[in-house]
Amino acid sequence: MEALEKTEIKNQRKTYSSKKKIIVAVFIFVLASFLMISPQLYKHSLILGNDMMFHFNRFYEAYMQIKTGDFNYFQSIFGFDQSGRIVNALYGPDFAYLQGLLMFLTKNWFRYQLLSSFLCFFIAGIAMFSLTRKAKLSYKSSIFISLLYMSSSMVSYYALSQNMTSWGAAFIPFIYIPAIRAIQDPQKPIKSIELALAVTSVGFLHNLTLFLGILSSAPFYVIGFFRANHKGKMIKDFFIAVLLTILLNINTLIGFAEVYLTNELVYPKFFEDVLSYTIYFDIGDNTYSSLGLIFSCIMLFQIFYLFINWKSTSMLERLLTLVGAFFLLLSTNFLPWEDISQYTNLVRIIQFPRRFSLIAYVFLLISFAFTLETNVKGLSNINKKIVYPILCMISFFMIANVNSKVLQSAEAWETDNPTAAGNNSAWTTTDDPDKIRKGFTSGRYEDAFKVIQKPTPDYLPLLNGTTQEELEEQGGYNLYGDQVINNELNVAKTTDNKNSLVLTWESNGNEKEVLPAVVYERSQINFNGSNYASSQISKTTLGAPIVETKNGKNKFVISYEPLVNTTLLLVIKFFTIGVLAIFTFVKGVRKFHNVRNQNRE
């Protein structure tokens, strides 16, 4: 009886210690996230990065739909100049609505950007910490690696440039937790719910990151299959996970597939000098195109260490290093990417080869931590006391580096060119810096789109037999700007009771006009009381409708009729979430009672 009580006390202390460590880790990540964004807070400045206007439009669309209750899953009826173009349905709709909710809570662009950047850093730290603990790294190593990852350019460029790849980087460590299980646990290599939730955590925000995550996870499951004790059960659990993932992401998958299969869409801009968008090794700062001194040393050291000490490393270490090294190679200019781009569209889809380095950051940092722990074990206590302060110093140095970059970008806000932190200066509607600043600080989200109107043509329909190359030669940005944003036709835009886009204008007679809106293959049109299919309407290269007006008032209504009812898809999605929540709760209660009963015995 006495022995049992001692065991119980020991388990309680262990649980308390574990909880305390988690609380300390969370506090460290909160502090690090705050330090990295603090210059923006102190300067009370916004950072107008390269991708800012595109994503601000996306999130504003979701925000307005939440605020007004007027939901339109496909069409942009508030953002993107109320053009009706489809963006959110193709680009992380669930995440867009979460960001819209964040905007609803923060009330202005400054607070929204500050909180959004903070969350990106913090989630990256939590995700990496969760992954390293799953890999059974020590607590100190997990903290060190997580802080390094948080401060890497892959994560920090959301704060600096509003780059969505950074949000993908923040969540992608979650996708590797079940991948590591496949290697570590031959008895149960796959837990269906765990795998489904891990894939969903990335799939709900960034398609490209999900693609890279699945591609880089595949070797883990292949090896895990050969090591599994019950291969049939592993296959069964895998397909259950696939089914759950489809159900959890069914609105995203069906919406994305439908628009892509029924339309030829404009790809994001492709840069011919593709080698300029690769990663290179450097002894300077860590930037979006440079690994910098610390990450260059860590990654190269780990790759060389593996091959020199192959026999003494575990299967997990080998796999992490090899896969990480492979993706690192893909991201560099050691490959002839300009020649490769002539033979495959992969480069157009990836857009920037440096994006492959995301996998290298995750895998090579973790495998380096294994190497670090292996070699620290053999040191004396005196030397160990030296190693960990050095690691703390490196972490602080990287955090300070991000702090410096955020400060530099934040300082641009108060200059004569508030857009200097990004590439938006060409799209401003005024040369007065005070008017630009007022557009973002007036307290009305929509004022920002009056001072900067960036005509990004991504995901517009590409019509009239025009190729992507021909569109770029014609100037896709300028075409979209002329046809939609700066269209001279005096059109009033509203929505009807079905949340369809309504355009009204006055005309003097039978004239052909290009309307500042976008029509897709599944769009339904009502023009001056008559219904038309999309194919019956003339359109420009980028889908702007061309109509023959009548004398007096004209009315043009655009709705979108999906192949599969969106409400049905959302019902399936939330029903699946509900079932999984109930199942997890019941399972947790049973586990709690079992543990309690065992302790009583």
How far lies 107's CA from each of 68, 271, 349, 439, in Å? 15, 37, 35, 14
Identity of residue 340? I
Res 128 pLDDT > 50? yes
Q: How far apart are CA 415 and CA 412, in angstroms?
A: 5
Evaluate whether residue 60 is within a structural domain.
no
Lowest average pLDDT, out of 14-28, 231-245, 441-455, 565-579, goes to 14-28
Residues 532 and 392 placed together within one structural domain of the fold: no
What one-character DSSP code corresponds to residue 529?
T
pLDDT tens per residue, range 179-195: 999 999 999 999 999 99
**What's the total number of domains in the chain?**
2
DSSP calls for 409-460: HHHGGGSS-TTTTTT-GGGBS-S-HHHHHHHHHSS-GGGHHHHB-----TT-
Write down the pLDDT at residue 15.
Answer: 55
Exposure b/e, 488-518, CB count within 10 A at least 16 = b: eeebebebeeebbbbbebebeeeeebbbbbb
Rounded to 10 degrees, what is the CA torsion of 163, 130, 235, 192? -90
Evaluate whether residue 228 is within a structural domain.
yes
User: Per the structure block, which two tokens stand in for 492?
Assistant: 């009033």
Res 315 pLDDT > 90? yes
495 membership: H or E segment, kind and range? strand 492-495
pLDDT tens per residue, range 235-280: 999 999 999 999 999 999 999 999 999 999 988 876 667 777 888 8
Write down the pLDDT at residue 333.
Answer: 86
What one-character DSSP code corresponds to residue 93?
H
Residues 387 and 524 placed together within one structural domain of the fold: no
- The boundaries of the domain holding residue 289 are 2-42+106-401
Q: Phi, psi at residue 545, to the nearest 5°?
A: -70, 145
Residues 176 and 303 placed together within one structural domain of the fold: yes
Evaluate whether residue 509 is within a structural domain.
yes
Last residue of a domain, one of 401, 421, 439: 401
pLDDT tens per residue, range 382-412: 777 888 888 889 999 999 999 999 999 999 9
For residues 112-125, average pLDDT? 96
Evaluate whether residue 540 is within a structural domain.
yes
User: Per the structure block, which two tokens stand in for 21?
Assistant: 């460590």
**Residue 552: which CATH number?**
2.60.40
Res 565 pLDDT > 80? yes
Q: How far apart are CA 437 and CA 441, in angstroms?
A: 6
Q: Identify the CA nearest to 296 among candidates 330, 335, 334, 328.
A: 328
The residues, any chain, with a CB within 8 Å of residue 477's CB and separated by 6 or more, are 455, 456, 457
Evaluate whether residue 268 is within a structural domain.
yes
Lowest average pLDDT, out of 82-91, 113-122, 232-241, 279-288, goes to 279-288
Evaluate whether residue 124 is within a structural domain.
yes
Res 223 pLDDT > 90? yes
Residues 498 and 377 placed together within one structural domain of the fold: no
Last residue of a domain, one of 386, 401, 416: 401
3-state SS, residue 365? helix
pLDDT tens per residue, range 63-105: 999 999 999 999 999 999 999 999 999 988 999 999 999 999 9
Evaluate whether residue 47 is within a structural domain.
no
pTM of the model: 0.93
Write down the pLDDT at residue 4.
Answer: 45
How far lies 319's CA from each of 145, 183, 293, 295, in Å? 18, 10, 24, 19
